[in-house]
Amino acid sequence: MKLDYTSAIPLHIQLKDIIEKQVAEGIFSEQIPSERQFIGEYNISRSTVREAINLLVREGILEKRHGKGTFVSLKPIHDWLGNLSSTTEAIRDIGMKPGAKLITHYKTIPSTYIQERTGFTEAYFIKRVRYADDIPIGIERHYYPIAIGEELIKYNLDNATLYDLVQNELGIQFAEADQTISSGYLLPEDMEYLDVPANTNVMIAVRIIKDQAGSVVEMEEAFYRSDMYSFKLNLSRKFG
């Protein structure tokens, strides 16, 4: 990866993007190269390197350790699009300890948006904080049919995998899911749960899961730290 010295994009932004991509791909997983190494590799000034690194520190992707250098603050969690897996599985797959804490649960009349997506005129709402190695990485907001939600809340939902409970304990088998991924901001009431600066962009994943009969059994709105997730896609081109 190279810098484009003729681009209108400032060099420190280009370097930031390069470093962020290398973190996401696992090229940098612990300590990143020194300022001198970046200066030599990209033929840029020390101030350019520092601006790029400071931006990544402010976003929580890197952290500076006094007298030791700059390190990747969190390992990116690689997930596979097209695979109906749980957050627990995604965290465990990269060698981190998954965790969850129940924040609240109650019956609700969902918003018009959720009603249109699910057909739920009433829903059971469950909200949890998700953790990786005891670090809060996301807020998950689940909407279930009342009957399913009332059964789920009978279990201890701290550190439980909701997918496992629905399928293995309630006997409801998932058949398909529709997922939309975008970028945005945390809801104001959820800011206190994630250790990120104000106005930090997060990854928003909206997933609707159906059972084998085609009925919606869950809608999830999840807000994850963007520095914790990267996605891999297998793409093929059809000829002819």
State residue 237's pLDDT score: 47
Q: Exposed/middle/buried for 134, CB within 10 Å: 0-12, 13-18, 19+?
A: exposed
Q: Report mean pLDDT in 10-residue bins for the chain, 240 residues.
A: 87 90 80 93 94 86 86 60 59 74 95 93 95 87 96 92 88 84 87 81 88 90 77 47
Distance CA 169, CA 120 (A): 23
State residue 208's pLDDT score: 92
Contact 143, 118 (CB under 8 A): yes
State residue 232's pLDDT score: 52
Question: What interhelical angle do 11-24 and 46-58 show, nearest 10?
Answer: 50
The span from the first CA to the last CA of the chain, in angstroms, equals 33
Contact 161, 171 (CB under 8 A): no
- How does strand 62-65 pair with strand 69-72? antiparallel
Distance CA 237, CA 240 (A): 10
Side-chain-facing half-sphere of 20: CA atoms under 13 Å: 21
State residue 228's pLDDT score: 64
The verdict on pTM exceeding 0.75 is: no
Structure tokens, 133: 């190695």
Max CA separation in the chain (angstroms)? 62
Q: CA geometry: angle at 33 spanning 31 and 39, to 5°?
A: 160
**If you write DSSP's letter for every residue of 111-166 in order, what string do you get?**
-HHHHHHH--SSEEEEEEEEEETTEEEEEEEEEE-HHHHHHHTTS--TT--HHHII
